[in-house]
Amino acid sequence: MSVRRDPDRAVLEGFHAVKHALRFGAEVERMVCADRTTVQELADMLAPDVAGAMAQAEEIGDAAILEMTAMPPAGGIVAVARRPAVALDVLLADPSPRPIVLLEAPRRLGNIGACVRVAAAADAAGVLTTGVSDPWHPDALRGSAGLHFALPVARVEDDVSFGDRPLVALATGGTPLGPGVVPPRAVLAFGTERHGLSDALLARADARVEIPMREGVSSLNLATAVAVTLYSP
C-alpha cells in the first residue's frame, strides 16, 4: 500500500508542513530530504525550535523524493508520521469556551486543509468533517501546512451527537454574525459553497447565524467563512 493511502499515517510534504508537525508533537517515523544543507538553512532561519530535529532528515535526492509525493515539496523535505487518535468524547466534553468547527461533506481537500490552518491559528478546540473526503489526506495536510497536529481533526458520522454543545449552523436567514451571537462551546457547522448545509443538519441546529455580505455576493470561500466566524468578537 502506498503510504499516501495508509489510513494510519500522515504524509507531510514541504518545509512548513514538517515544521509544524514537529512543533506540535507529531510522531514522525521517517523524514527525508533532497538536500540537507538547504533544509538546515531554512530551519535555522525560520524554525530554530525544530532545527535539531530537521537535521536528522535522511538525504535521498530529488528522484527518490518524487516517488513519495504528488508534486515537488517546498524545501525538498517530506515526512511520514503517525496519525494521532482523536477521542471524540473527550473533545466534546472539553469545558473551555472554544468552539469546534464542523465541515459538512467538504469536497475540496485544499479547502479542508485551509480550514484546519485557520482553526489552529484561532485556537479552536478541533475540526470535524462528515462525508467521504479524508481530512488527513496528504493534499489536506499540504493545505494546512501540517497544522493538523495542532488540534484534533477527525471524520465523523453525519448523525453524530454533540452532547451539550450547541450546534450553530452558518447559513442564510440566520441572525447576523456579531458580538455575543455565537454561544460558548458551539459546534460551528459550515456547508459547501455551492449547496450550503443539508436540510437534515439545519433541522438539528440549535441556532442559525448568517455572515453579513454585500448584496449580490452569494458566498464566501469555505476557509474564509470559517475565519470570519472564528475571529468574530
- In terms of DSSP bridges, do strands 187-190 and 100-103 run parallel, antiparallel, or are they unpaired? parallel
CA–CA separation, 65 and 18 (whole Å): 14
Average pLDDT along the chain: 93
Residue 130 is predicted with a pLDDT of: 97
User: Residue 218: what residue type?
Assistant: S
What is the pLDDT confidence band of residue 1, given thresholds at 50, 70 and 90? very low
HSE, side-chain direction, 13 A CA sphere, residue 148: 36
Regarding pTM above 0.95, the answer is no
Give the residue-averaged pLDDT of 8-20: 94
- Taking only the tens place, the pLDDT of each residue in 64-112 is 787 777 777 878 899 999 999 999 999 999 999 999 999 999 999 999 9
Confidence of residue 150 (pLDDT cuts 50, 70, 90): very high
Q: Is the pLDDT of residue 213 over 70?
A: yes
Cβ pair 148, 11 in contact under 8 A? no
Amino acid at 43: A
**% of the chain surpassing 70 pLDDT:** 99
CB atoms within 10 A of CB 231: 10
- Strands across the sheet containing 126-129: 153-155, 126-129, 100-103, 187-190, 167-176, 207-210
Give which of 100, 98, 122 is closest to 184, Cα–Cα. Answer: 98
Could you tell me the residue ranges of all domains in the chain? 3-82, 88-230
Question: What CATH number belongs to 88-230?
Answer: 3.40.1280.10
| Residue percentage of the chain with pLDDT more than 90 | 82
pLDDT tens-place string over residues 153-170: 999 999 999 999 999 999
Regarding the domain delimited by 3-82, which CATH topology (the fold level of the hierarchy) does it fall under? Answer: 60s Ribosomal Protein L30; Chain: A; (3.30.1330)
Does the pLDDT value for residue 152 go beyond 80? Answer: yes
